[in-house]
């Protein structure tokens, strides 16, 4: 009987230790929101050269738009098309660029925060070799700027490294059934979205994939501050130990 009691007590101690070591979801979310707020304080004016491509089922480019987009905090945005080709696909990409550079409104309704999402901890994960917390996102409203999916939150900095899922609502008349993946990274001390990959159904055209890759960043003084020209599409992410 004594050995059985000892074993039971041992198991209870291990369970208590495991529970004590489990991350608290509320702490993760609050630290994530604080990290995002801190990032806004370090954001300065910059211009990004972004390459948008529409790919067919064989992953061959059917349209391309290269745009220079200027961001001036807190809410000024403008763009200039450097080059474009691809018929109706070009029109779709131009529409995406225009929508991305619309004057931001209701920013608080687009944030990844408790006001817009319900969160659930899925477990540990990794992103580019960094330990992360993987959280499930459930939008509180059906809006085109919200996604139903998951995010990878850096376990040390609490910055969002990756977000992916279906948009809660179709973003435009042209596009529906949109699955979007976004990768974030450091650019001159700012934490920015540096890569986007979306799978969409384009009206009258069928299933397509859209890739938006940031190529180059310039400061307000037109100095190159970061060049991201590199091969590959997706940054590595994993869920689990």
pTM strictly above 0.75: yes
The more confident residue out of 233 and 22 is: 22
How far is Cα 161 from Cα 140, in angstroms, rounded to an integer? 22
The per-residue pLDDT for range 121-132, each reduced to its tens digit, is 999 999 999 999
Tokens encoding 11? 């198991």
Q: Is residue 206 part of a domain?
A: yes
Residue 11 lies in a domain: no
pLDDT at 235 over 50: no
For residue 33, tell me if it sits in a domain: yes
| 47-59 pLDDT per residue, tens | 999 999 998 878 8
Q: What angle do CA 218, 36, 143 make, to 5 degrees?
A: 95
Give the model confidence (pLDDT) of 182-216 as tens digits: 999 999 889 999 999 998 887 777 788 889 999 99
Does 36 map to a domain?
yes
Q: How many domains does the chain have?
A: 1
Instruction: Note whether 184 and 164 are within 8 A (CB).
Output: no
Residue 80, pLDDT above cutoff 80: yes
Q: What is the extent of the structural domain holding 105?
A: 23-239
Q: Which of 73-77, 199-203, 215-219, 223-227 has the highest mean pLDDT?
A: 215-219
């Amino acid at each position: 009987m004594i050995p059985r009691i000892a074993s039971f007590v041992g198991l209870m101690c291990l369970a208590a230790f495991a529970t004590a070591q489990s991350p608290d979801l509320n702490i993760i979310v609050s630290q994530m929101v604080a990290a995002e707020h801190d990032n806004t304080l370090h954001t300065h004016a910059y211009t990004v050269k972004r390459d948008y491509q529409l790919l067919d089922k064989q992953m061959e480019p059917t349209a391309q738009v290269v745009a220079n987009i200027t961001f001036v905090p807190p809410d000024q945005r403008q763009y200039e098309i450097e080059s474009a080709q691809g018929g109706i696909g070009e029109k779709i990409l131009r529409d995406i660029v225009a929508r991305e550079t619309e004057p931001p409104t209701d920013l608080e309704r687009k944030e990844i925060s408790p006001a817009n999402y319900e969160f659930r901890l899925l477990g540990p994960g990794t992103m580019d070799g960094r330990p992360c917390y993987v959280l499930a996102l459930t939008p509180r409203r059906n809006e085109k700027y919200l996604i139903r999916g998951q995010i990878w939150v850096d376990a040390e900095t609490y910055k969002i490294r990756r977000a992916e899922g279906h948009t809660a609502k179709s973003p435009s008349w042209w596009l529906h059934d949109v699955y979007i993946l976004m990768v974030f990274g450091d650019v001159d001390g700012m934490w920015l979205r540096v890569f986007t990959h979306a799978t969409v159904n384009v009206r009258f055209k069928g299933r397509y994939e859209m890739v938006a890759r940031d190529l180059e960043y310039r400061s307000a003084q037109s100095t190159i501050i970061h060049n991201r020209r590199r091969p590959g599409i997706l940054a590595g992410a994993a869920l689990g130990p």
